[in-house]
Amino acid sequence: MKLWQKDNSSVNERIEKFTVGRDKEFDLLLAKFDVQGSIAHVKMLKEAGLMSEKDATDALNGLEDILKNIVDGKFSIEEGIEDVHSQVEYLLTQNIGEAGKKIHSGRSRNDQVAVDLKLYLRAEVLAVKNEVKELFDLLISQSEKFKDKLLPGYTHLQIAMPSSFGLWFGAYAESLTDDMELLAAAYQIANKNPLGSGAGYGSSFPLNRTLTTELLQFGAMNYNSVYAQMSRGKTEKIVAMGLSAVAATLSKLAMDACLYINQNFGFISFPNELTTGSSIMPHKKNPDVFELIRAKCNRIQATPNELTMLINNLPSGYHRDLQLTKEILFPAIEELKACLQMTSLMLSNIRIIDNILDDEKYRYLFSVEAVNELVNKGISFRDAYRQVGNDIEQGKFQFNYHQQLHHTHEGSIGNLCNAAIEKQMEKVLQKFL
């Protein structure tokens, strides 16, 4: 069954297989939202006098039954039925008769898909937001717990200056606050109603788009009917950009963890059940989880570009190219949620090695502390830098400051400002309301 099919017409089987592609697979994720959109549309049709009280009541009851089956996992797209929209209308017509054929008045499959996608993406962005907030809370907690545990900081992968696990965990917490800014912007774009735009040019029916916007609890409407259709592809790309920002933070954190667990660093460890071994080397404890988080998140960061290449240079109006956004974006959403969950699991079980900086190789880590001490005694910075540098070159540098570090400015080892970072996050979270 196809919504557009006329009597005595058929489509070549190979053409149908090619054009449908994987659409049914991803349409199942939209099923709940398709019914929700149809419920709002039917209520609007009744209010506008385009559907009788009885027909609307029958349709609404039938749609609620279909929605319950979807929630209970009893819904599928049958063989020979093109997509989720056709399946819902077919089931409704089978159950309530002719009234089921009336629900498509004033609507095109184009705006049906558009509203399904907006509802789905809005829900998924909120789900990602919740996972990010859980990881953020954990990072802040671990930052406070391990704020006195020192570790070496690096620039150019060379030993640089003293850092701490309080700084390390807190840095990624604050990174997530910026990522959430992009995710919140994506939420605002997804939270606009395209329903009623039809095929992109509106309808001669007296539709009440304000009503469907309220019924579907959208924050606003895509007002211009042409733009409502143009928002397809664009919305997916903007959501992908928000996901990409979170993925970039996770990828960097995962890379750090892979380095820190390495024996040449030896800063952290994890329980045996969270690492994997080697088939030939019995001593191995591999950070496979972090390696896969790094790989998956790097791939997620490519999603906006892949969508750009798909939709770039398309003129206004609908094009079948847009069908493919689902198979690009939907798996990326699931992958990111899994990566967030696994990062939280790993960091909840992290073990921090004690007294890392006692190792002789970190003695130069405190060269800046030595320079600063001389400056505090009245020596100019350049002369102090030269004096300490010469001592290092001549092997005279014997300073060890890690028992007496006094970093007090905002955002330093001794003043993490985690409470301020938490306030930033709370401010961003308000943008999702």
> Domains, the chain, ranges and CATH?
13-105 (1.10.275.10), 110-358+409-432 (1.20.200.10), 360-393 (no CATH)
Amino acid 79: pLDDT: 87
Q: Summarize the confidence of residues 14-30 as an average pLDDT.
A: 75
**Interior angle at CA 421, CA 415 and CA 424, nearest 5:** 150
Looking at the predicted structure, is the pLDDT value of residue 5 above 90? no
Percent of the chain with pLDDT over 70: 92
Looking at the predicted structure, is the pLDDT value of residue 26 above 90? no
Looking at the predicted structure, is the pLDDT value of residue 9 above 70? no
Q: What are the pLDDT digits (tens) for 235-253?
A: 999 999 999 999 999 999 9
The helix, strand and coil proportions of the chain, stated in percent and rounded to the nearest 5, come to 65, 5, 30
Mean pLDDT of the chain: 91
Tell me if 363 sits within 8 A of 397, measured CB to CB.
yes
Q: Summarize the confidence of residues 197-202 as an average pLDDT.
A: 92
Amino acid 404: pLDDT: 67
Using alpha carbons, select from 337, 338, 326 the residue that is nearest to residue 26: 326
Structure tokens at 61: 């009851």
pTM of the model: 0.91
Looking at the predicted structure, is the pLDDT value of residue 403 above 80? no
Tell me if 241 sits within 8 A of 304, measured CB to CB.
yes
List the beta bridge partners of residue 8: none
DSSP annotation of 303: H
DSSP annotation of 1: -
Name the 3-class secondary structure at 243. Answer: helix
Query: In the structure, what pLDDT confidence band is assigned to residue 4 with cuts at 50, 70 and 90?
Result: very low
Q: Are strands 158-164 and 192-193 parallel, antiparallel or unpaired?
A: unpaired
Looking at the predicted structure, is the pLDDT value of residue 340 above 60? yes
Query: In the structure, what pLDDT confidence band is assigned to residue 274 with cuts at 50, 70 and 90?
Result: confident
Chain CA centroid to CA 129, Å: 7
Structure tokens at 189: 């774009």
Looking at the predicted structure, is the pLDDT value of residue 159 above 80? yes
Residues with Cβ within 8 Å of 146's Cβ and at least 6 positions away in sequence, in order, are 164, 165, 166, 169, 352
The whole-angstrom separation of Cα 279 and Cα 285 is: 11
Looking at the predicted structure, is the pLDDT value of residue 282 above 90? no
DSSP annotation of 13: H
